[in-house]
Structure 1
């Protein structure tokens, strides 16, 4: 098979492959970029594999970075772009169920493709668009199937994260997992505990933001993978509820965790605990707590100006998106109108601050100062006083006593 009308990402990288080939080595585009181009999914970057060893690549290009030279990967800097080039290799010994203990560089493309996870990812393409398919990956793309390369037991025992990648690809591409591959995931699901949670976290969020997150969740439940991720083991009923939400579509990580937190029935402390277990970023935790609180307010018809102010427009829209999915949301336009009607949208819009209160000898630095500022905010939001400095100073004097 030969692909034509290749995406611009391939065209920009073509001279890199041509230079490698001109020096007598083989070079191919490989993996997800080839797969997605065949499927018709937009790509954002390309991976390159070559028979040239890392030192040979470095001799061919004046500007390189050793991004993973131990495993055969060198980044070539070419015309403002960075291209990671990995030497053909074989792998052996996976004591940590994630990374090989031994990597051997080889000159054989078939040996390299044989070590890859799924047939749809074991596709290599020359710079002219000619595709090498040794494991019927093209056929599996047509059949919309996720199938392990070779023995699925061996693939998952080598790298247990591949099990999460399988359900992620099923969600992303709307593909089914091939029966033998699925059985192997069921057999080795417990090995997921061997994988760093940061890696599992990345795959899970991508799965939930995929084309068919319900399918991904169903596979996690069917294979018992859900039992081996933090805080999910005792939440089977909630996970099943999520997997039954019609037209489930999540567009950011905050929506993912807010939906989970809402369906799990978590309070702010429990949300914090859950996301700390998943090694989430502090901002994600804060945004999830805010969005979940706002989602509950929408459900309970308690979306007050204070709640809207504390949410901010972005989190308000995230919460309403989830509320619509769950069947009790409002019109986005109505909520945006309510947001615009709040006297202040952000803390820094208050016409007074701590510095003014200190300078006017109304309050000294300390906890009381922050408490008064917060009270003034609430009074302005609830239209008890106008957002004007004279009125705020008068109110601050009363509150300071």
Structure 2
């Protein structure tokens, strides 16, 4: 990230040298002042997208609502956005929060036209014209909760009251945008304060897709920290708190197919784990990653969890870990049993896996086939 910062200053210098007022803005400046891991570096400039594209060799015009160009400087890529409004000051005043309205020039000097540095020092979330900022993009209300969760900041009274009065507007925001912010709310170190904010403002009732209710909020308040946990664990924990009954409810969140599958399998084995300990077959079917996540979920919900090292030792001791390690293949079975390909083949391969995993026979081709012959007419 230090290298990226250097390249950003070089890019800014090139624009400034051509007479275009240019700054690093937003989250990167905020996080630098807070001593946090730097986020992506965004740049704002007085140059138009056309002027930016002429100045740099490698650019791509982004098709978003802002006039943004993706620029390569050295080995780094930066989003360079044309100043919104009539001036740089107006642009900074129109951003969601003052702590995200800080800027830095090519020399590393802070430019603060909204007293954002003071709000950082006071650990306060504040907006310039809160009603205008929150209503022009209602997702910003959830972003406030996200910054409470991530930073532990308080909310200025005017901003708090604005969200309390206007929270129904967020219901029109696309679920995909909500999902990205919500997982950050869940993962923050001060998640509980953020959840209380959602309740106190009534915002939780209006967030689309999540279908939050008082009981779920209470479950989330008692859940152990999700800091540094994967998205799979965060969404699984959330769905368990919500008591999500079926796949359709999950699909309403528009999660990726990969994440959707990951959450479903973890929830399935979490419920199964309530009934009994891990069997060799369950461990094989689920995979070590899923099993370890299930135990993490049990810990998060205050249930006794199996030691991760013991679980890994159990996994390591399995005769095979996936079908590719099985000593027989579908081709072998077709040749040995002289049958046309059909549903029986899948059944026999599953039986072979079960025989080996449950140590009822060695993982040797001739032995597996001999055992399968015994149950050929079962």
Q: Is 2:196 the counterpart of 1:218? A: yes
Which residue of 1 is the match for residue 28 of structure 2? 33
Which residue of 1 is the match for residue 151 of structure 2? 173
Query: Is contact 2:186-2:226 (8 Å) kept?
Result: no
Q: Take 2:318 and 2:39, find their aligned partners in 1: how far apart are those partners?
A: 40
Structure 1: gaps (5+ residues): 1-5, 91-105
Q: Is 2:7 the counterpart of 1:12? A: yes
Structure 2 length as normaliser, TM-score? 0.93
Report the CA distance shift for 1:58/1:250 in structure 2 as closer, same or farther (over 3 A): closer
Which residue of 2 is the match for residue 122 of structure 1? 101
Among 52, 57, 60, the residue aligned to 2:52: 57
Report the CA distance shift for 1:146/1:300 in structure 2 as closer, same or farther (over 3 A): farther
Structure 2: gaps (5+ residues): none
Among 135, 158, 163, the residue aligned to 1:157: 135
Report the CA distance shift for 1:382/1:275 in structure 2 as closer, same or farther (over 3 A): same
Query: Is contact 1:192-1:228 (8 Å) kept?
Result: yes
Superposition map of 1:72-221 within 5 A: 72-90=67-85, 106=86, 108-148=87-127, 150-221=128-199
Which residue of 2 is the match for residue 366 of structure 1? 342
Query: Is contact 1:297-1:303 (8 Å) kept?
Result: no
Among 269, 283, 286, the residue aligned to 1:311: 286
CA drift of 1:246 comes to 4.0
Which residue of 2 is the match for residue 102 of structure 1? none
Report the CA distance shift for 1:225/1:274 in structure 2 as closer, same or farther (over 3 A): farther
Q: Take 1:220 and 1:359, find their aligned partners in 2: how far apart are those partners?
A: 63
Query: Is contact 1:230-1:277 (8 Å) kept?
Result: no
Q: Is 2:216 the counterpart of 1:238? A: yes
Report the CA distance shift for 1:339/1:44 in structure 2 as closer, same or farther (over 3 A): same
CA drift of 1:44 comes to 4.4
CA drift of 1:363 comes to 4.0
Among 326, 332, 342, the residue aligned to 1:350: 326
Q: Take 1:25 and 1:230, find their aligned partners in 2: how far apart are those partners?
A: 41
Aligned-pair Cα RMSD in Å: 2.0
Which residue of 2 is the match for residue 94 of structure 1? none
Query: Is contact 1:254-1:287 (8 Å) kept?
Result: yes
Report the CA distance shift for 1:376/1:245 in structure 2 as closer, same or farther (over 3 A): same
Bigger shift: residues 163-172 or 204-213? 204-213
Q: Take 1:379 and 1:221, find their aligned partners in 2: how far apart are those partners?
A: 53
Report the CA distance shift for 1:70/1:326 in structure 2 as closer, same or farther (over 3 A): closer
CA drift of 1:240 comes to 0.9
Query: Is contact 2:102-2:116 (8 Å) kept?
Result: yes
CA drift of 1:17 comes to 0.6
Query: Is contact 2:69-2:80 (8 Å) kept?
Result: yes
Question: Could you list the per-position Cα deviations for residues 148-192 of structure 1 after superposition, in whole angstroms to 9, with x for gaps in the alignment?
Answer: 2x2212111100111111111111222222222122222222222
Query: Is contact 1:324-1:330 (8 Å) kept?
Result: no
Bigger shift: residues 168-177 or 299-308? 299-308
Which residue of 2 is the match for residue 273 of structure 1? 248
Count of residues in correspondence between the two structures: 376
Bigger shift: residues 70-79 or 224-233? 224-233
Report the CA distance shift for 1:399/1:388 in structure 2 as closer, same or farther (over 3 A): same
Counterpart of 1:301 in 2: which secondary structure?
coil
Report the CA distance shift for 1:220/1:250 in structure 2 as closer, same or farther (over 3 A): farther
CA drift of 1:110 comes to 0.2
